[in-house]
């Protein structure tokens, strides 16, 4: 038995199961089990595998992973990692697998926010991929990341430990349903969020990997998919400094609705940015702050 034979067998099983990229996934699982690079696979794939217990165990492990992947468990939950912004994030079934689309949001923030003294809040952090890559690549003074899920926060904490140890600036995690757990006095220069945004009725029609295995909590944006943008628009203002920025990932058909929602709450300088596929993916808004100042003046008058 050679690795090449195992690779062909795995690819065929995955193809039969309707997995979208069977060869690629069979290869990733093989490299994962043997802890080797693609280059060493190419060099050794036709050599017979040793006839020992270690090789037999690895083969069994590979076969188990192929059968799980054939059951449409996402590849990244099997390997336990996903690359995002050039960094390797740990993932499990409690967090959404970081998507390349989401790099559009991180790149926009990095391009527009050069001042490292900024304080940043990530709402619905999941694996922490947005907050941690911004802390790592942007070097912001203070980054806070929150999530409603304690299990997701455990993953984010592991990622922070892995990627931010010895890094300057503070990084804090907070278990919170949207803004509920944030001190009323806290203000941020930048809010970022990739909230759940899929309309509930649409979830049933998604790929089995997403529909059956990724956390529903991270996907379901309620009936019209916009519930969490409403909360971000209404409550985000309370936690932004005047002139503060909010950046959100959106579903590709939500740009107009989200823009209208934020304009309606007094935000300005609305901008939509497309992802690499040319689809609307990020909405940015600026909170001018007048309304809040007016309210504060009103309070002083009393």
Residue choice 89, 197, 262, 287 for contact with ligand GLN (CB under 6 A): 197
Chain residue whose CB lies nearest ligand GLN: 197
Residue choice 17, 55, 73, 210 for contact with ligand GLN (CB under 6 A): 210
- In the complex, what is the shortest distance from the CB of residue 48 to ligand GLN, in angstroms, rounded to a whole number? 42
> Does 104 sit near ligand GLN (CB under 6 A)?
no
> Does 89 sit near ligand GLN (CB under 6 A)?
no
Region from 28-36, 62-70, 192-200, 258-266 binding ligand GLN, contact rule CB under 6 A: 192-200
Instruction: Give whichever of 195 and 236 is closer to ligand GLN, judged by the CB atom.
Output: 195
> Does 228 sit near ligand GLN (CB under 6 A)?
no
Q: Which of residues 154-183 bind ligand GLN (CB under 6 A)?
A: none
Residue choice 194, 280, 285, 287 for contact with ligand GLN (CB under 6 A): 194
Instruction: Give whichever of 6 and 178 is closer to ligand GLN, judged by the CB atom.
Output: 178
> Does 219 sit near ligand GLN (CB under 6 A)?
yes
> Does 130 sit near ligand GLN (CB under 6 A)?
no
Burial 104-125 (b: 16+ CB within 10 A, else e): bbbbbbbeebeeeebbbbbbbb
- In the complex, what is the shortest distance from the CB of residue 65 to ligand GLN, in angstroms, rounded to a whole number? 23
Where on the chain is the footprint of ligand GLN (CB under 6 A)? Answer: 96, 99, 101, 194-198, 210, 219
């Amino acid at each position: 038995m050679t690795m090449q034979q195992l690779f062909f067998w795995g690819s065929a099983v995955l193809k039969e199961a309707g997995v979208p990229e069977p060869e690629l996934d069979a290869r990733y699982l093989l490299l994962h089990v043997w802890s080797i690079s693609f280059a060493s696979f190419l060099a050794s794939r036709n050599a017979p595998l040793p006839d020992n217990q270690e090789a037999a165990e690895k083969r069994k492990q590979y076969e188990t992973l192929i059968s799980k992947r054939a059951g449409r468990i996402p590849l990244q939950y099997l390997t336990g990692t996903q690359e995002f912004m050039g960094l390797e994030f740990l993932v499990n079934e409690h967090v959404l697998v970081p998507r390349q689309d989401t790099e559009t949001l991180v790149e926009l923030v990095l391009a527009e926010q050069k001042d490292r003294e900024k304080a940043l809040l990530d709402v619905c952090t999941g694996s922490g991929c947005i907050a941690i890559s911004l802390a790592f690549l942007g070097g912001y003074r203070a980054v806070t990341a929150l999530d409603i899920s304690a299990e997701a926060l455990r993953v984010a904490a592991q990622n922070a430990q892995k990627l931010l140890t010895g890094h300057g600036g503070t990084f804090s995690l907070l278990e919170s349903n949207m803004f509920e757990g944030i001190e009323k006095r806290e203000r941020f220069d930048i809010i970022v969020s990739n909230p759940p945004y899929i309309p509930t009725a649409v979830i049933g029609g998604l790929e089995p990997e997403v529909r059956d295995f990724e956390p529903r909590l991270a996907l379901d944006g309620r009936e019209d998919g916009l519930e969490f943008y409403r909360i971000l628009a209404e409550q985000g203002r309370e936690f932004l400094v005047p002139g503060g920025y909010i950046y959100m990932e959106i579903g590709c058909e939500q740009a107009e609705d989200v823009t209208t929602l934020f304009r309606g709450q007094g935000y300005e300088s609305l901008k939509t940015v497309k992802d690499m596929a040319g689809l609307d993916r990020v909405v940015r808004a600026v909170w001018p702050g007048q309304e809040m100042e007016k309210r504060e003046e009103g309070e002083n008058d009393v």
